[in-house]
């Protein structure tokens, strides 16, 4: 019989990794609520059209990486590869346009069929923050500040850099698109196969190509800011002024793009060199055309996402709170076993983590208590119960004393 293994590109989350994930999610939730965001959990799978219409059929995610399947009713469904499309769909189907601005946060698993490597899995996990219905640059500034606060709270503040760019409005991008097509068309013989496909449909995505030959061409390509109209310049200036006012440092990266048509104005990445080569930790941008493209009302939007696996590699271990040390109960005898069951429940209801081995002699149960790094052990035998007391042993100090049954919880308070 073959040995059972996780599916390639997936992993079990337990132990220290589970503690790191919980710390990230809890910290994110506290900061998001502080900024007025409400939690949202969209379904793990959606109708395939939700992603085809938002990510674009020519994107790598749609053409190569999505997990698409047909259910028993003949519907084409897709495991979500990212969060934003599902939240935008929820905004439309939930009729939330009357409630703008809508500020959401969420976290959970995503799925992409790609080559597994460090920090990149086929089932991976993201945290996500979105603001819908705010066309003003104040939303951009606020979300960037929220990202800074989160990364700082996770112990990364000294190791991250914010890279910032603007994609301008539709008029500016149209003018730039024309210039890009003209430039790359003169170098068709040097473009990669993927970039040749993108040339007519989505030339901005060539700027984000990983192909080395494409990268050389991109160095001399036209720069988007040279095609900004006054409105695009003013919007970007206001975002930068807001960040300056908050004391948040940034670097302008004119090659930082979001290749899909609905993106507009602000695009950004938080990067670090703590993973070896410089890598992206958190990224996002403004997508004012997304909801309209999906068939909803024209609604501004901006958001960001970060991979929890990558954050877990970077989060300071000293920041993750240790699991509380348990209280171990060791009953000795049948009568003590029954009393111990009730004491376990009473102490748990009082807020103590409690462990009691299901079987074994006193020696084995004491070994288990030491293995669990218990703070104290409560020993209960027939003699103690006859006197309505228990023996409490401090495993750090090696001391022990008898305590009345009714006073156990009070006695243990300083071990909580």
Give the 3-state DSSP-derived string for the chain, with helices as H, strands as E and coil as C.
CCCCCCCCCCCCCCHHHHHHHHHHHHHHHHHHHHCCCEECCCCCEEEHHHHHHHHCCCCHHHHHHCCEEECCCCCEEEECCCCHHHHHHHHHHCCHHHHCCEEEEEEEEEECCCCCECCECCEEEEEEEEEECCCCCHHHHHHHHHHHHHHHHCCCHHHEEEEEEECCCHHHHHHHHHHHHHHHHCCHHHCCHHHHHHHHHCHHHHHHCCCHHHHHHHHCCCCHHHHCCHHHHHHHHHHHHHHHHHCCCCEECCCCCCCCCCCEEEEEEEEECCCCCCEEEEEEEECCCHHHHCCCCCCCEEEEEEEHHHHHHHCCHHHCCCCCCCEEEEEECHHHHHHHHHHHHHHHHCCCCEECCCCCCHHHHHHHHHHCCCCEEEEEEHHHHHCCEEEEEECCCCCEEEEEHHHHHHHCHHHC
How many CB atoms lie under 10 A from the CB of residue 143? 25
Cβ atoms of residues 380 and 390 within 8 Å: yes
Q: How many CA atoms lie within 13 A of 211 on its CB side?
A: 15
- For the record, the structure tokens of 80 come out as 């979500």
- CB count within 10 Å of CB 21 equals 20
Distance CA 171, CA 155 (A): 41
* CA distances, 123 to each of 10, 18, 76 (Å): 5, 15, 20
Q: What is the pTM of this model?
A: 0.87
Rounded to whole angstroms, the Cα distance separating 235 from 238 reads 5
Question: Within 13 Å of residue 345, how many CA atoms lie on the same side as its CB?
Answer: 5
**Size of the chain in residues:** 416
Compute mean pLDDT per 10 residues along the chain, 416 residues long, and list them. Answer: 80 92 97 98 95 66 78 95 94 95 97 76 95 97 98 91 94 90 90 86 82 88 92 97 97 83 90 78 94 93 95 85 91 87 93 90 91 93 90 92 92 84
Phi/psi for 245 (5° steps) reads -65, -30
How buried is 219 (Cβ within 10 angstroms: 0-12 exposed, 13-18 middle, 19+ buried)?
A: exposed
Query: Where exactly are the structural domains of the chain?
Result: 15-169+229-319, 327-415
**pLDDT score for 101:** 96
Output the CATH code of domain 15-169+229-319. 3.30.930.10
The candidate with the shortest Cα–Cα distance to 180, out of 213, 211, 220, is 220
pLDDT at 56: 60
pLDDT of res. 63: 55
Residue 190 CA, chain-centre distance (Å), reads 38
What is the pLDDT, as a whole number, of residue 206?
Answer: 87
**Tokens matching residue 121:** 């899995």
* 140: nearest Cα among 107, 101, 176, 106: 101
Q: Per CATH, which fold does 327-415 belong to? A: Rossmann fold (3.40.50)
Cβ atoms 171, 258 nearer than 8 A: no
């Amino acid at each position: 019989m073959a040995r059972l293994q996780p599916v390639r590109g997936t992993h079990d989350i337990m132990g220290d990794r589970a503690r790191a994930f919980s710390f990230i999610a809890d910290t994110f939730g506290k900061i998001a609520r502080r900024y007025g965001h409400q939690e949202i959990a969209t379904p793990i799978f959606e109708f395939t059209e939700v992603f085809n219409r938002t990510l674009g059929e020519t994107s790598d995610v749609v053409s190569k990486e999505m997990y698409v399947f047909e259910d028993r009713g003949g519907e084409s469904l897709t495991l979500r590869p990212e969060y934003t499309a599902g939240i935008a769909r929820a905004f439309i189907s939930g009729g939330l346009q009357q409630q703008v601005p809508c500020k959401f946060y969420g976290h959970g698993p995503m799925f992409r069929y790609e080559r597994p490597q460090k920090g990149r899995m086929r089932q991976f996990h993201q945290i996500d923050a979105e603001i819908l219905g705010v066309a003003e640059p104040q939303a951009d500034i606020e979300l960037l500040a929220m990202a800074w606060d989160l990364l700082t709270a996770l112990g990364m503040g000294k190791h991250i850099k914010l890279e910032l760019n603007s994609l301008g409005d539709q008029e500016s991008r149209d003018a730039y698109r024309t210039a890009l097509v003209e430039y790359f068309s003169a170098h068709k013989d040097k473009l990669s196969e993927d970039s040749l496909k993108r040339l007519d449909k989505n030339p901005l995505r060539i700027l984000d190509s990983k192909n080395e030959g494409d990268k050389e061409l991109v160095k001399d390509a036209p720069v988007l800011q040279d095609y900004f109209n006054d409105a695009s310049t003013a919007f970007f200036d206001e975002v930068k002024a807001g960040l300056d006012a908050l004391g948040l440092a940034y670097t302008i990266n004119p090659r930082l793009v979001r290749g899909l048509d609905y993106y507009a104005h602000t695009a950004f990445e938080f990067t670090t060199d703590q993973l070896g080569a410089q890598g992206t930790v958190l990224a996002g941008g403004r997508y004012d055309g997304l909801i309209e493209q999906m068939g909803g009302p024209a609604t501004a939007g901006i958001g960001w996402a970060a991979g929890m696996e990558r954050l877990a590699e970077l989060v300071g271990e000293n920041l993750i709170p240790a699991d509380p040390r348990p209280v171990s109960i060791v009953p000795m005898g049948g009568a003590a076993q029954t009393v111990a069951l009730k004491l376990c429940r009473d102490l748990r209801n009082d807020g103590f983590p409690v462990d009691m081995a299901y079987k074994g002699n006193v020696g084995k149960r004491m070994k288990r208590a030491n293995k669990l790094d218990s703070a104290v052990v409560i020993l209960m035998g027939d003699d103690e119960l006859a006197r309505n007391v228990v023996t409490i042993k401090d495993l750090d100090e090696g001391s022990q004393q008898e305590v009345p049954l009714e006073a156990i919880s009070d006695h243990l308070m300083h071990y909580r």
